[in-house]
A = this chain, B = another copy of it.
Amino acid sequence: MGAEENGYFTEENSVDVVISRNTGAKSERLKQIMEVVTRKLHEAVKELEPTQEEWMDAILFLTRTGHTCTDWRQEFILLSDVLGVSMLVDAINNRKPTGASESTVLGPFHVADAPELPMGANICLDHKGEDMVISGRILGTDGRPIANAILDVWQANDEGFYDVQQQGIQPDFNLRGVFRTAEDGRYWFRAVKPRYYPIPDDGPVGQMLGALGRHPYRPAHLHYIIKAEGFETLVTHIFDPDDPYIHSDAVFGVKEGLLAEFRLTEDPARARELGFEGKFWQVEHNFVLAPAKS
């Protein structure tokens, strides 16, 4: 009998023996997933030839990662993030037509029920940080403005914290807002310049980053979800290209097309109009939505 017939496992036939057990899988997709996962796992083991101690280290790392997961912390997502897996899944699921704005990861700090605000509102409720005005247009790939587009924005403050990380310190819904475009597709609002911040690095993933000589920082950014009828929803960021971590985002979220220009502006008359004092930052950035798939 050959190995597949008697079912006995060898170094050579290991993948075939394992996947041959899955003929009764509940779905073809599950069978396919297990085939690829098994094959890639065995390829990794055959290439690395881990010692029994290294294998046990891997088991214990996964166990610690699992034990770090709670209702409010997801260490396996963090692991997926720092290995580039989350961004890869995002990229595969959000291939955009030419000209459309690129997506990036949602991140863990979105809040579903942020208030809808009038265009031009200041989302910074505690007036901490450097003033910033952000504006632009929501367009289709044909260049036409999109009316009734919903722009949901959220960002960290000037110390790198989201409101939900500093409850009782920051006001509720600080640096969050939902805006709706008119016929011209234009949006604008006021905020503060965000700062880079570390992903949670006091668990096994942070220890792994340390052992790899990697820092845990994400470069400064604003988050957006942009929705409009007849268009694909866009989940994205814009980034400050001058951030010290712009070329080394711990979760690989930066894309060339997501770099915005943050211009430090001295214009006392315009500052007065905006309710700002002294210099302020100006960001002008358009978003182009892909047409919805039928």
Give the interface of A toward B (CB within 8 A): 6-11, 14-15, 17-18, 21-26, 30-34, 36-38, 40-52, 54-55, 59, 62-63, 65-67, 69, 74, 76-77, 80, 83-93, 95, 211-214, 247-249, 252-256
Contact = CB atoms under 8 A, between A and B. Distances in A.
Give the interface SS of chain A, mostly helix, strand, loop or mixed. helix
Nearest to A106: B52
Copies of this protein chain in the complex:
2
B252 A49 contact: no
Given A9-B252, A42-B88, A87-B9, A213 B50 contact: no
B84 A214 contact: no
B212 A25 contact: yes
A255 B54 CA distance: 24
- Residue among A17, A91, A254 having the largest count of chain B Cβ atoms under 10 Å: A91
Nearest to A247: B7
A213 B23 contact: yes
A84 B213 contact: no
A92 B45 CA distance: 9
A256 B62 contact: no
Given A59-B80, A87-B14, A212-B21, A37 B44 contact: yes
B26 A255 contact: no
A26 B213 contact: yes
A77 to B, nearest CB: 6
28 contacts: A6-B256, A7-B254, A8-B255, A9-B87, A10-B91, A10-B255, A11-B88, A14-B84, A14-B88, A14-B252, A22-B214, A26-B211, A26-B212, A31-B212, A36-B48, A37-B83, A41-B83, A42-B84, A42-B85, A46-B88, A49-B92, A50-B89, A51-B93, A52-B89, A62-B62, A62-B66, A63-B66, A66-B66
